[in-house]
Amino acid sequence: MTRTLGAAVVGLGVGEQHARAYARAEGCVLRWLHDLDRERARRLAMELSTEAANSYEQLLTDEGVDIVSIATFDDAHAAQVAEALRARKHVFVEKPLCRSREEVRTIKELWAASGGRRLASNLVLRAAPLYRWLRRSIAAGDLGTVYAFDGDYLYGRIHKLTEGWRKDVVDYSVLQSGGIHVIDLMLWLTGQLPTVVSAAGNRVCTAGTAFRYDDFAAATFGFESGLIGRITANFGCVHPHQHVVRIFGTEATFIYDDRGARLQRGRSGEHQAQVIDEPPLPATKGDLIPSFVDSILHDAGPEGAQYEFDVISVCLAADRALASGSQERVEYL
């Protein structure tokens, strides 16, 4: 008999897309929704034929809940992940997983003690058909040896920094909250982990507003193989929301920008780039949830919790370099 997993979602901004994904997922039933706006939770619960919880604790104590999906504000993630792991739930959480090395250590210890519970962060660009194609191409050697990775996270929604909840989060990090998407692509596509990082940033675009931290950050990563990665998180840019990726290999160059995705195989102007006609974004922000559910049902998956700890460790090292103005080693737990 096929097992059915019970899921609960806390935070119904992006979390609404989590809820809809669980409601559609095979082998899963949506049991609870919770949000600070109780009326919002009630309305969505009625639409999806489930229940609205009065508190986070209420859904954690339900033995029928196997998965807790967390889509709250960044600074709430670590404590809520820890509580869910203590309650022996599988956890799917919006990025960032947490915001400090101490929080990584605590979460890893709780995960290790949780009896094999699954833990994943919603780094949703992995679900985009374009990057799934690109990962296969790199693994097949189509680009040759990859020696440089450039990624720009263009946020393009400055009002969310200056007017929304982000302005109230202490030590808000644009690298952890947005740049993490392209940092994740760098690690996931190349299959490598950096050893050192340098970084610089500024707060020009949000000067004079209530937002108090760097709205632009640039980080340069070094790898043992010689690969160099350059990542920017540009939250104040005058540009629509977009991710720009350039990957340079000894046999070909991949570029995705305003002109679309293409693969350049020759160095002269006579060589026409191959157009890659694959969607650069997932259909929804819940597209990784079906594979997360499957990983629990079948006790298998492409990435595990250690990968999530590695990604956030890279982001934390970049923020340390940003603060110190010096090169920092990436410390993995």
> In whole angstroms, what is the distance from residue 180 CA to residue 315 CA?
7
Answer whether residue 87 shows pLDDT above 70.
yes
Backbone angles phi, psi at 243, to 5 degrees: -115, 125
> In whole angstroms, what is the distance from residue 106 CA to residue 99 CA?
12
Mean residue pLDDT of the chain comes to 96
pLDDT score of 263 = 97
Range(s) within the chain of domains with CATH label 3.30.360.10: 125-285+313-329
- Where does the pLDDT of residue 271 fall: very low under 50, low under 70, confident under 90, or very high at 90 and above? confident
Q: What is the pLDDT of residues 10-22, one digit of tens each?
A: 999 999 999 999 9
Which pTM was predicted? Answer: 0.95
- Give the mean pLDDT of 279-292: 96
pLDDT score of 129 = 98
Answer whether residue 160 shows pLDDT above 80.
yes
User: In the structure encoding, which two tokens stand for residue 321, read together?
Assistant: 């370099």
Answer whether residue 302 shows pLDDT above 70.
no
pLDDT score of 210 = 95
> Could you give the count of Cα atoms lying within 13 Å of 247 in the half-sphere of its Cβ?
27
Q: Out of 3.40.50.300, 3.40.50.720, 3.30.505.10, 3.55.50.30, which CATH number does the structure's domain 5-124 have? A: 3.40.50.720
- Give the mean pLDDT of 95-115: 96
Q: What is the pLDDT of residues 217-226, one digit of tens each?
A: 999 999 999 9
Query: For the chain, what percent of residues have pLDDT higher than 70?
Result: 98
Phi-psi region of 52 (alpha: psi -120 to 50; beta: other; left: phi over 0): beta
Range(s) within the chain of domains with CATH label 3.40.50.720: 5-124
Q: Of 157, 164, 131, 74, give the one whose Cα is nearest residue 282.
A: 131
Q: What is the identity of the amino acid at 25?
A: A
pLDDT score of 2 = 66
pLDDT score of 299 = 81
The CATH number assigned to the domain with range 125-285+313-329 reads 3.30.360.10
Q: What is the pLDDT of residues 6-64, one digit of tens each?
A: 999 999 999 999 999 999 999 999 999 999 999 999 999 999 999 999 999 999 999 99
Please enumerate in sequence order all residues whose Cβ is within 8 A of that of 30, keeping only pairs 6 or more positions apart, or say none. Answer: 7, 8, 9, 19, 22, 23, 48, 50
- Where does the pLDDT of residue 189 fall: very low under 50, low under 70, confident under 90, or very high at 90 and above? very high
